[in-house]
Structure 1
Amino acid sequence: MTPGHVVALVFALVAALGYGASSIAQAEGARRATDTLRALRHPLYLAGLGGDALAWLASLVALRSLAVYQVQAILAGSLAVTVVGARVVLAARVRRRDVAAIAVTVLALTVVAAAAGPQEQVHPSTTLRYGLVVAAVVVAISGWFTVRATRGGGPAWLPAMAAALAGLAYGGTAVCARALPTPTGALPAVVGSLAADPLTWALAGFGVAGTLLYAHALQHGQVGPVTAVLWIAEVIAPSIVGVAVLSDTVRAGWTPYAGCAVLATTAAAVVLATAPATAAAVAESD
């Protein structure tokens, strides 16, 4: 591993720890407040929101040097942090299967970290840039129809659909961040370059759509299944796009191990998503 690779891995791990810890902070802040408005003003809840923002920025830094599949798999490990933190802070119950899933997560992420090959700077074509913009619009429109169909009831699978779309949207932000060229020059030139790049607008669109759709899915569905569907979509879809479109690489001979590790991380995330500890943290922080 190069020093830059190691630094990027550290940023990805910090992002995972940040997301997991922020969920606990928000849950504890919500638990200490008497209503939603007071919860939103509670110092712990605000600290959790700040932690989410910093974790997101750390993940963007990691995506400058690491493959999409690598960063997304590591971020899925944040559920292990949430489960452990909820056990300590919220006294939530941890099942034996949760302990096993945490162990699988640690082992699988070790393999993922070791399997990534050297990643080159992406040079996105005009087609890729506007293709991601179109994809963001399609996800947003699909989400709007899903939300509209949920009003007044609707089929039981609609919250899962909203969660899947949210996962695709969050995955889209990762793809955009990986593809976005690194701007250089003075600050005004950097800001102007980012504002003029369609990838920036696609990233923003994906981010807003994902946040709104995940909140909607949590409001109308069960926390465990909704979170599980979210992570399946958020890890698998962008990982495939990263390898197929962005030329994300795997170390020679490590492709089977990397694939199995990503699938194992996703499976562990599904198990941890249904854990009582996750439900306690996510439900109280929402």
Structure 2
Amino acid sequence: MGLVAALVAAVCFGVATVLQALGARASDARGSEAHGAASGGVGGTVRAMVNLPFAAGLGLDGLGFLAQLVALRSLPLYVVQAALAGALAVTAVTGALLLGMRLGRAEWLGVAGVCCGLAVLGATAGAEGHRQPGGGFHWALLAAAAALGVAGGAAWRLRGPVRAALLGLLCGFGFGLVGLAVRVLPAVELPQVAPLLRDPALYALVGGGAVAFLFLTEAVRGGSVTTATAGMVLGETGVPAVLGVLLLGDGTRHGMVPLAVAGFAVAVAGALALARFGEVGGVEPSR
């Protein structure tokens, strides 16, 4: 069920990206007809958000996040993070079908790499680790969220590809921080939520997710989509995978470590090959 949830999350996030791009394009087209120019600014954003495809995309984002939470509670962190990076394959294929995006041979190989890598990870993954690193780690996660905010503020002032790469990498660290926080949060039942509200990891989760979305939005808006998304993929997969193994006790089935490492590498490499689909609205359609 954990693997199914991870794949559901990837599909939701990947399709949501395309639906949001579709909704934004439809909103811009209506704005152009009404005002003689493409709509923009706050008004354009509001119109896009009340557009049916865009709203459906937001709904899928919410569903994907819930599926991600289920997956993180039952799978090793490296499997879930690789699956979420694989959402780029879903975006690429869905974008080709609905938006007429061009996929070259390298990108189709990237889609195949993501699928094969995730299949290997699913076959070799063990159960999630049950090691708890202690309360100090929860505070360390909150400190890391604050440090990401400070580092992002410094990267924000840069220019060019370096800025996009750093903001994308910090965004990936933020998403990885969300995964780590979910893994260490205590299990609670309503209405007894006081232990959850007292846990600094909860606020690390909120802070990490907030800075991740902010940094990714700014990185793709003011820089190279491919560079920013590549940084995000590396940040959200590499470090969380290592920490999951070392601190949380994640592992593979007996004797399958080399195969799992190979599957992880292939899945991430495939996602990197699809990095230009990190903001599908900016990808040139086929003619």
Give yes or no for TM over 0.5: yes
Code of the residue aligned with 2:229 in structure 1: it is T
SS of 1:188's partner is coil
**Does 2:123 align with 1:123?**
no
CA contact under 8 A between 2:226 and 2:275: conserved in structure 1? yes
Mapped partners of 2:249, 2:129: distance in 1: 8
Report how far residue 220 of structure 1 moved: 1.3
Q: How much does 1:59 deviate?
A: 0.5
Listed as ranges, the matches of 1:201-212 within 5 Å are 201-212=203-214
d(CA) in 2 for partners of 1:96, 1:23: 22
Which residue in the other structure is 2:114 paired with? 105
The one-letter amino acid of 2:192's match is A
> Residue 58 of structure 1: CA displacement?
0.7
On the 8 A contact 1:273/1:279 being kept in 2, the answer is: yes
- The Cα of 1:155 is off from its aligned counterpart by 5.0
How big is each residue's C-alpha offset from its partner over 1:23-42, in whole Å with a ceiling of 9 and x where there is no partner? Answer: 11001001111222321221
Which amino acid in structure 2 is aligned with residue 26 of structure 1? Q
Is 1:156 aligned with 2:165?
A: no
| Structure-2 separation of matches of 1:283 and 1:122 | 42
- Contact kept, 8 Å, 1:23 with 1:48, in 2: the verdict is yes
**RMSD (Å) for aligned C-alpha atoms:** 1.5
Candidates 85, 91, 104, aligned match of 1:82:
91
Q: What is the deviation of 1:188?
A: 2.6
Of 8, 20, 27, the residue aligned with 2:21 is 27
Alignment match of 1:169 (pick from 161, 170, 174): 174
SS in 2 for 1:24: helix
Matched, 1:266 2:285: no
1:188 maps onto 2:188 in alignment: no
TM-score norm. by structure 2 comes to 0.89
Q: Tell me which amino acid in the other structure corresponds to 1:64.
A: R
Kept after mapping to 2: 8 A contact 1:64/1:177: yes
Q: Is the 8 A contact 2:170 2:215 kept in 1?
A: yes
Q: Pick closer, same or farther for the CA change 1:72–1:279 going to 2, 3 Å.
A: closer
8 Å Cα contact 1:170-1:206 kept in structure 2: yes
Alignment check: 8 A CA contact 1:63 1:174 kept: yes
> Residue type of the partner of 1:95?
G
Distance 1:241 1:144 in 2: 25
CA contact (8 A) 1:173 1:207 kept: yes
TM-score (norm 1): 0.90
Q: Distance in 2 between matches of 1:126 and 1:203?
A: 15
Please tell me whether the aligned partners of residues 18 and 91 of structure 2 are also in contact (alpha carbons under 8 angstroms).
Answer: yes
Q: 2:6 matched to 1:12?
A: yes
Unaligned runs of 5+ in 2: 29-38
Q: For the residues of structure 2 that align with 1:62 and 1:100, how far apart are their CA atoms?
A: 26
- Displacement of 1:225 after TM fit? 1.6
Task: After TM superposition, give the deviation of residue 99 of structure 1 in Å.
Answer: 1.1
Larger deviation, residues 162-171 vs 42-51 = 42-51
Q: Is the 8 A contact 2:126 2:252 kept in 1?
A: yes
Q: How far off is 1:270 after superposition?
A: 0.8
Task: Render the CA deviation track for 1:259-283: whole Å, top value 9, x for unaligned.
Answer: 1111111111111113xxx266243
5+ residue gaps, structure 1, are 1-6
Q: Of 191, 214, 217, which aligns to 2:216?
A: 214
CA–CA distance in structure 1, aligned partners of residues 281 and 77 of structure 2? 25
Count of matched residue positions in the alignment of Structure 1 and Structure 2: 268
Work out the CA distance in 2 between the residues paired with 1:188 and 1:122: 26
The aligned amino acid for 2:240 is P
- Which residue matches 1:4? none
Of residues 56-65 and 36-45 in structure 1, the stretch that sits farther from structure 2 once superposed is 36-45
